[in-house]
Chain A
Amino acid sequence: MTTTAESVAEQRRSDVHLSYLRPHKKFPNLWCPGCGNGIVMSSLVRAIDKLGLPRDEVALVSGIGCSSRMPVYLDFQALHTTHGRALAFATGVKFARPDLKVIVITGDGDALSIGGNHLIHACRRNIDITTILINNYIYGMTGGQVSPTTPSGAYATTTPFGNTEKHFEPCDLAKGAGATFVARTTVYHTPQMDRVLADAIAHHGFSFVEVLSNCHTYFGRLNRLGSATALLQMFKEKTTSVGKTEESANGKIPIGVLHRDLETTELCDEYQKIVDSLSKGKQG
């Protein structure tokens, strides 16, 4: 039973979501029912709404994959680019127009395999872009092939006998490459995701958020992990809040803000200093 207050609150929440959907776009979306991508999309909308960002100043850039289809549904300036290149395009958008809030939506195959080089260099530059990497451990759009985050031993259509490779830890990679805000969350933990995404977008510098998400259609089915809800349940059980001691974490995956560096200078700011000093020199 929901109380009136709860249903009013629910109504208001859904109105926020509706108001951010593209007016001309035909729905339903192309994702499988229950896909985690939709959960991330609604969380992103709440984060942007909470920050009160003017709609015209937000630019979404994505690559190729299921998650990269997100910007077509949201009423922002949007660039759906080529496989792996979203961060390189986004770097051009942001560096040319530092006044914009640039948010990249990408997946594990897009950002870590074909786009790995662009990812580490965007981290290194500490350019003020927020990257949301939706990690579902598999290539969904092309039908379930192994990705750089697929665990060793796991099944995919291209690892029919189990994955013989090691996987990347996306957050470790981003931190090691120089990202100044790194966080991990899951599609089970939506209140946390709302907070983490808002913090990431508000961060001045390169912010990286890995969202563990369910591709029940391929990863779940090929590895006999069950339905979408079973995968959400798994994210609940296998994760723990960041900051636990190794013992109390008990092998669970830490979620929350893993790294925050407020000292390192941001790329566009540094370049602007050069532009300003050169124009001063000209006047002088």
Chain B
Amino acid sequence: MSRPKRQLMMGNQACVQGALRAGLRFYAGYPITPSTEVTEGCARELPKTGGRFLQMEDEIGAISAVVGASVAGVKAMTATSGPGYSLMVENIGYAYMIEAPCVIVNVQRGGPSTGLPTKTSQSDTMQTRWGPHGDYTAIAVAPSTVADTVTETIRAFNLAERFRTPVTILLDEVIGHMQEMISLPEPGEYQVVDRVKPTCPPEEYEPYGSTDNFVNPMPAYGDGYRWYATGLTHDAMGFPTNRPDEIVVNLDKLRRKIEDFRDEICKVRADWMDDAEFALVSYGSVSRTALLATKLAREAGVKVGCLQLQTVWPFPLAQLRELLQDCTAVIVAELNMGQIVREVERVAPPQARVHSLLRYDGEILTPIQFLEKIEEVRS
């Protein structure tokens, strides 16, 4: 087989390619800058693979249709940006509650409200974790390159199917619209995970009964299980309950199925960390600049290391605790007013001071800003 050809592609298109490779069969969306190319790409590509695309009446409709398709038995995705994500949170919460695997792409722009449609931002980091009301645990990944977007999109689908939960892909305007040369992975070069289906007879099936890993097999509609799903707090059969003991089991399940398996989910990329005195912590497009700044600082003889959070949620507590243990200072760089920095403060070792390098004017952080911050921290 010949080497796959390299092609110029923007992050939003790479996301579509990743999703198709992960087994996407259904997409519902609503146009919004700067995510629209994901929606347009799916409109064009999905019917070619026998999949289905719908432009819904609004973002609430889009996420609802996605969850409907997911429980019916197919892999489903939507893409949006801040204002659309805000509309979706109602039914992202529903997906958490009924445990419907699905993928939500948030190509971030500046906020609050309609904010900065064409400018980049990472100000939805906390909304991704705490958007819908109630208690649950979220999963979110954050690619930093166009090539990364393909592999992280595939990973997002795999995590959604494995854990039966919505997974958010945190892109930002820079990654979404930036063009890079990439070669798309061929089948066999990546792993595809599908939800586990029940094998028991239908009369024994408990859609939310207790299991070793808090995840239940999930039949497709028409498979004969005729299960019931509700956004109300439910018992093992999925029926609404007000019993305190059953309420706790329901909520613990949503948390523990993810919290107890953090090692399977949390991914941190570490560069030059072995002897690092200073660590730069970042995610998404900022990690590109952080990596370049690290290289430049190293050339100047400063012992800087670079940590990229490929999984943002659940926050990679254990990995960061270990990676940061010998550092004397940590610089957390984000395109917002300081969101993930508080998570880093919770895991930084006692000797390390945690600094923020922030930008929220719609522009990206530059290498110079990183180098100046490193100088400031050193002096």
Q: Give residues in A with beta carbon < 8 Å to B.
A: 22-26, 55-57, 59, 61, 71-72, 75-82, 85, 88-97, 99-100, 117-118, 121, 271, 274-275, 278-279, 282
Stretch with Cβ within 8 A of A (4 or more), from B52-60, B119-127, B319-327: B52-60
Output the least CB separation between A30 and chain B (Å). 9
A53, B105: Cα distance in complex, Å? 38
A24, B48: Cα distance in complex, Å? 42
A92, B203: Cα distance in complex, Å? 27
Contacts A56-B222, A118-B61, A282-B48 given; does A88 touch B228 at CB 8 Å: no
Contact A80 B222 (CB under 8 A): no
Q: Contact mask B33-72 → A, CB, 8 Å, 1/0?
A: 0000000000000011010101011101100111111111
Interface residue from A57, A78, A91, A275 paired with B68 (Cβ < 8 Å): A91
Output the least CB separation between B59 and chain A (Å). 10
Interface residue from B76, B223, B224, B239 paired with A92 (Cβ < 8 Å): B76
B315 close to A (CB within 8 Å)? no
Contact B229 A79 (CB under 8 A): yes
4 extra interchain contacts, Cβ-Cβ under 8 A, other than A78-B229, A88-B60? A25-B237, A75-B226, A85-B91, A92-B66
Contacts A57-B222, A92-B28, A93-B71 given; does A279 touch B58 at CB 8 Å: no
Contact A92 B69 (CB under 8 A): yes
Decide if the interface of chain B is mainly helix, strand, loop or mixed: mixed
Most buried by B among A55, A79, A274: A79
Contact B57 A118 (CB under 8 A): yes
B214 close to A (CB within 8 Å)? no
B11 close to A (CB within 8 Å)? no
Q: Contact mask B220-238 → A, CB, 8 Å, 1/0?
A: 1111111111111000010
Closest A residue to B98 by beta carbon equals A79
A-B contact list, 9 entries, CB within 8 Å: A26-B239, A57-B222, A80-B230, A88-B57, A88-B60, A96-B76, A97-B74, A279-B48, A282-B48
B94 close to A (CB within 8 Å)? yes
Output the least CB separation between B96 and chain A (Å). 12
B84 close to A (CB within 8 Å)? no
A198, B240: Cα distance in complex, Å? 29
- Report the tally of A-B residue pairs with Cβ distances under 8 A: 137
A275, B45: Cα distance in complex, Å? 10
Contacts A88-B56, A92-B68, A99-B222 given; does A72 touch B239 at CB 8 Å: yes
A75, B66: Cα distance in complex, Å? 24
Most buried by B among A25, A77, A88, A96: A96
A118, B76: Cα distance in complex, Å? 19
Contact A88 B48 (CB under 8 A): no
Interface residue from B68, B74, B224, B237 paired with A79 (Cβ < 8 Å): B68
Residues of A within 8 A of B57 (CB): 88, 117-118, 121
A97, B70: Cα distance in complex, Å? 10
Contact B61 A80 (CB under 8 A): no
Most buried by A among B52, B90, B223, B239: B52
Output the least CB separation between B293 and chain A (Å). 44
Tally of contact residues, B, Cβ under 8 A: 46
Output the least CB separation between A98 and chain B (Å). 9
Contact A279 B50 (CB under 8 A): yes
The 7 closest A-B CB pairs, nearest first, are A92-B68, A92-B65, A88-B64, A96-B69, A80-B230, A89-B68, A88-B61
Contact B226 A55 (CB under 8 A): yes
Residues of B within 8 A of A117 (CB): 57-58, 61
Interface residue from B69, B222, B230 paired with A77 (Cβ < 8 Å): B222
Within 8 A of A (CB), among B68-101: 68-74, 76, 90-91, 94, 98
Contact B229 A275 (CB under 8 A): no
A55, B227: Cα distance in complex, Å? 12
B25 close to A (CB within 8 Å)? yes
Residues of B within 8 A of A55 (CB): 226
Contact B226 A95 (CB under 8 A): no
Contacts A96-B52, A117-B61, A282-B48 given; does A88 touch B68 at CB 8 Å: yes
B278 close to A (CB within 8 Å)? no
Contact B226 A76 (CB under 8 A): yes
Contact A72 B230 (CB under 8 A): yes
Interface residue from A26, A76, A95, A282 paired with B65 (Cβ < 8 Å): A95
Residues of A within 8 A of B231 (CB): 80-82
Contact B222 A81 (CB under 8 A): no
Residues of B within 8 A of A91 (CB): 54, 56, 61, 64-65, 68
Most buried by B among A57, A89, A100: A89
Interface residue from A22, A89, A274, A278 paired with B228 (Cβ < 8 Å): A22
Residues of A within 8 A of B224 (CB): 56
A46, B132: Cα distance in complex, Å? 39
A56, B28: Cα distance in complex, Å? 25
Output the least CB separation between A274 and chain B (Å). 5
Interface residue from B54, B64, B237, B239 paired with A81 (Cβ < 8 Å): B64
Output the least CB separation between B47 and chain A (Å). 5
B370 close to A (CB within 8 Å)? no
Residues of A within 8 A of B163 (CB): none
A97, B52: Cα distance in complex, Å? 10
Closest A residue to B71 by beta carbon equals A79
Closest B residue to A89 by beta carbon equals B68
A82, B89: Cα distance in complex, Å? 12
Most buried by B among A56, A90, A100: A56
A217, B228: Cα distance in complex, Å? 28
Residues of A within 8 A of B225 (CB): 77
Contact A23 B54 (CB under 8 A): no
B313 close to A (CB within 8 Å)? no
A92, B221: Cα distance in complex, Å? 12
Contact B61 A96 (CB under 8 A): no
Output the least CB separation between B241 and chain A (Å). 10
B26 close to A (CB within 8 Å)? yes
Residues of B within 8 A of A78 (CB): 226-229
